[in-house]
Structure 1
Amino acid sequence: MVLTALRGGLVFLTRLPVGVDEASWDAFRRTPVAFPLVGYGLGALAAIPFLLPVPVPTAAALYMAALYVLTGVTHVDGLADVGDAAAVHGDAEERLAVLKDSQTGVGGALALGLALVTLGLGALSVAGTAPQVAFPLVVAAEVGAKTGMATLVCTGESAHEGLGSALIDVNDVSNLVPVAVSLVLLPALLITPVAGVAGVTTAAFAAVAAASFAPVAVAVLAGRWGNEHLGGVSGDVLGTANELGRVAGLHAGVLAWTLF
């Protein structure tokens, strides 16, 4: 079941050439833990540029290029749509109408621009650390972002019928347990290479934990915004949680590494 769900998750969360069928899509919908499990592999692939002997800006640029080659623009488009909806002065029905508009307005352009700039700055900060630190932090941020999406899928109410409701309506809070376990285990899995650089486990644990959990906090805030302004969580809110969660994870991880 999990392997089938992972195949469906790779199709939903990446652009990797993986064949999909109705069985894998249905398994993915009903197995939210597939979100963070896909995040492990996706984060590892996107983090490869930080292991290369290239200048810091080049590593950051290669990371961003690899990230969107791997993931596509579906979730970025969701962030842009939410940015447009946030700029609307109206009720939930008016905001939902904006979400369905294919054109990007000022709000969407601003949200997208800020997200990409802050992602780039986060990538530069990560690239400035040792490779043994950068790689785990990138993986942790990606897993955290995917865990944030899974959290909304398990705890949210759908705003309208669509891709988001196809995921949310078949899950409940009971499905959150394996998702939480996969996140809690993350620092233990990634702490060893970071601790080798730090010399102590405190800084290593703090950095990986911050990169892991900050995206979940962002997702909770995104879900709350969706409930208040859209009447629930939509596919665009899920995409927003993913994009902003990744940014928060990178910055939180580097900040924790610096402070501890």
Structure 2
Amino acid sequence: MTPAPLAALRGALGFLSRVPVGHSEANWEAFRRTPAAIPAAGYVIGALLALPIAAIAAAPARAAAVPSETVAVLFVAWLYTVTGITHLDGVADLGDAAVVHGDAERRREVLKDSAVGVGGALALGVVVLGLAAAALLLVDLARLAPNLPVAAVGLVVAAEVAAKAATATLVCLGDAAHEGLGSALTAESGPRSLLGVGVVAAPVAFVGWPALAPGLAVLAAAGVVAAAALWWARARLGGVSGDVLGATNEVARVVGLHVGVIAWTLS
């Protein structure tokens, strides 16, 4: 029998990415009862996402011929190859719900509509462009000095773990407004589970060691995004849903990357 922590991690990777770990009911059950598995999976996913940046660092002479803008586009394409686009669907749905007039019930109806409106298109554009811009900053950072490629790779991993921790925070503190993916996750956890999430995510604070500012800034940014998402979901939707969880992951990743780069350049 697979140990529960390993089963939870496999379940998290299977749910949060396209990593071929296989799918099973046991892994899913272990995952949805273990919010700490969400940021734990972020370490694996983040390491995979950082491969384009690492490739630039590993072959600087040849890689210098590749424009930073091209690498940034490849980074975005690679990211969604690894993670899939399920969470982007949450961004689009919440973008449409954010601009609709009406009460929480009306907004929840919009979330179920598969058509993408102006609000959803704008939200998708901001997230994808923000991600590409962050990738461009990371590539330039990796090319500045011999020791900085490690920092750029570390920031990618840190931002991914922090984004997953933000998502897990909503799982621990949020309540679902209706039956669905949100309720399947939030019903099994509570505030006490947040301690495990924090313990798993805490090591990314040392990503810029001996400088602590970059890692702490990434974690703080994720916390702000989680708090804002939780407040908005409660006030506008009546609770957390799968779309809210997915959008929180995407927004926290982009914000974390930008804040991390800024903190690194100032430290």
Shorter-chain TM band: over 0.9
Contact 2:151/2:208 (8 A) holds in 1: no
What is the aligned counterpart of 1:176 among 183, 194, 203?
194
Tell me whether 9-18 or 86-95 shows the greater mean CA deviation. Answer: 9-18
Q: Give the CA deviation at 1:60.
A: 1.6
Q: Does 1:241 align with 2:248?
A: yes
Q: Does 1:24 align with 2:27?
A: yes
Aligned to 1:33: 36
Aligned equivalents of 2:11 and 2:78: distance in 1?
21
Aligned equivalents of 2:11 and 2:122: distance in 1?
32
Tell me whether 115-124 or 211-220 shows the greater mean CA deviation. Answer: 211-220
Aligned equivalents of 1:191 and 1:87: distance in 2?
39
In angstroms, what is the RMSD of aligned CA positions? 1.1
Q: Give the CA deviation at 1:212.
A: 2.9
Letter in structure 1 aligned against 2:33? R
Q: Does 1:256 align with 2:256?
A: no
Contact 1:47/1:139 (8 A) holds in 2: yes
SS at match of 2:115: coil
Q: Give the CA deviation at 1:211.
A: 2.0
Aligned equivalents of 1:185 and 1:14: distance in 2?
22
Aligned to 1:208: 215
Q: TM-score when scaled to structure 2?
A: 0.90
Aligned to 1:196: none
Contact 2:40/2:201 (8 A) holds in 1: no
Q: Does 1:128 align with 2:140?
A: yes
Contact 1:9/1:28 (8 A) holds in 2: yes
Q: Does 1:145 align with 2:142?
A: no
* Runs of 4 or more above 3 Å deviation: none
Contact 2:8/2:30 (8 A) holds in 1: yes
Letter in structure 2 aligned against 1:172? G
What's the % identity of the aligned pairs?
Answer: 54
Aligned equivalents of 1:73 and 1:220: distance in 2?
24
Q: Does 1:14 align with 2:6?
A: no
Gaps of at least 5 residues in structure 1 are 193-200
Aligned equivalents of 2:76 and 2:229: distance in 1?
23
What is the aligned counterpart of 1:86 among 98, 106, 130?
98
Q: TM-score when scaled to structure 1?
A: 0.93
Letter in structure 2 aligned against 1:221? A
Aligned to 1:43: 46
What is the aligned counterpart of 1:223 among 211, 230, 235?
230
Count matched residues: 249
